[in-house]
């Protein structure tokens, strides 16, 4: 294994998003951040690079605001970041995103292992990594909670609905990781200052040779509304608290919750 690549997304920080009275989302004061799931991918890439003494780079696609992510990404152990800032990302779905990332990867070079988060903090479609693998013609391993590289082979433990599966493949391959795979580092002052000296490179969509159909999303988001839970507001008022607990348990069982 000689070189690693991590794909990440620059997203709105959900804790800054407010829900208006008409259930529309108020993002006027929301800041941006690297998607939490992608922080796990970056951390895993950095750990593998440190362990095996290889290079690790990153690639991100978003609006022009994605450039703001570079310093944070580089402070997390990456050697270099390629970024694509284009208005196309405002309506891009997983189809468009995968097409652009695949074309960019073919342009910038070959990698032995490509890491992604299992989904992004905003849409969480879980489609980008498998689509990217199909376009590049390499294996995809999803839902990975443990990852090692032994004798040039990728050994991944997948967490599925009712079982654990271990897969071994010979790279290059794409792996999408679950949050439990690691705990992302918090960059210190030294790492933040060093990040300012690390290289980054802009890749323009116009340089990727993509056709109009490859940049046209299959899914368009017309609106996003906040979710409101309508509670039943059932109150148990028996004098004996044990009776209240018994009625609560019975009610939950009737709803299929226990």
Of 113, 105, 107, nearest to 3 by C-alpha is: 113
Whether the per-residue pLDDT at 121 is higher than 90: the answer is: no
Q: How many helices (H) and strands (E) does the chain have?
A: 6, 13
**Higher-confidence residue: 226 or 178?**
178
| pLDDT band per the 50, 70, 90 thresholds, residue 258 | low
The b-or-e profile of 165-182 (16+ CB within 10 A means b, else e) is: eeeebebbbbbbbbeebb
pLDDT single digits (tens) 184-242: 999 999 999 999 999 999 999 999 999 999 999 998 888 888 877 777 788 888 888 89
pLDDT at 182 over 80: yes
pLDDT at 236: 86
List, for residues 74-88, the tens digit of each pLDDT value.
999 999 999 999 999
pTM of the model: 0.85
Task: Give SS3 for 219.
Answer: coil
Question: Residue 70: pLDDT band by 50, 70, 90 thresholds?
Answer: very high
Quote the pLDDT of residue 167: 93
Q: Which fold does the domain 3-215 belong to in CATH?
A: Rossmann fold (3.40.50)
Statement: residue 253 has pLDDT above 70 = yes
Give which of 59, 47, 39, 51 is closest to 109, Cα–Cα.
59
Tell me the per-residue pLDDT of 6-62, one tens digit each, with 9 for 90 and over.
999 999 888 888 888 888 888 888 899 999 999 999 999 999 999 999 999 999 999
Q: Please give the pLDDT value at position 45.
A: 96
Q: Write the burial class of residue 101 (CB in 10 Å: 0-12 exposed, 13-18 middle, 19+ buried).
A: buried
Q: How far apart are CA 231 and CA 212, in angstroms?
A: 47
Give the whole-angstrom CA distance, residue 219 versus residue 202.
27
Give residue 161's Cα distance to chain centre.
Answer: 20
């Amino acid at each position: 294994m000689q070189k690693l690549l991590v794909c990440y997304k620059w997203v709105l920080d959900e804790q800054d998003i407010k829900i208006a009275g008409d259930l529309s989302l108020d993002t006027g004061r929301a800041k941006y951040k690297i998607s939490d799931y992608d922080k796990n991918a970056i951390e895993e890439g950095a750990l593998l690079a440190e362990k095996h003494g290889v290079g690790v780079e990153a690639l991100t696609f978003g609006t022009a605001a994605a450039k703001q992510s570079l310093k944070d990404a580089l402070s997390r152990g990456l050697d270099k970041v390629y970024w694509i800032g284009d208005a196309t990302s405002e309506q891009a779905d997983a189809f468009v995103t995968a097409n652009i990332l695949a074309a960019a990867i073919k342009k910038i070079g070959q990698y032995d292992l490509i890491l992604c988060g299992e989904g992004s903090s905003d849409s969480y479609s879980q489609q980008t990594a498998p689509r990217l693998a199909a376009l590049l013609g390499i294996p995809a391993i999803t839902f990975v909670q443990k990852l090692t590289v032994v004798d040039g082979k990728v050994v991944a433990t997948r967490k599925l609905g009712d079982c654990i599966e271990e897969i071994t493949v010979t790279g290059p391959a794409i792996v999408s990781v679950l949050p439990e795979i690691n705990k992302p580092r918090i960059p210190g002052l030294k790492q933040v200052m060093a990040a300012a000296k690390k290289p980054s490179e802009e890749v323009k969509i116009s340089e990727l040779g993509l056709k109009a159909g490859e940049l046209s999303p299959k899914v368009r988001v017309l609106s996003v509304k906040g979710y409101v839970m309508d509670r039943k507001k059932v109150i148990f008022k028996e004098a004996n608290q044990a009776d209240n607990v018994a009625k609560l348990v019975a009610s939950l069982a009737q709803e299929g919750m226990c």
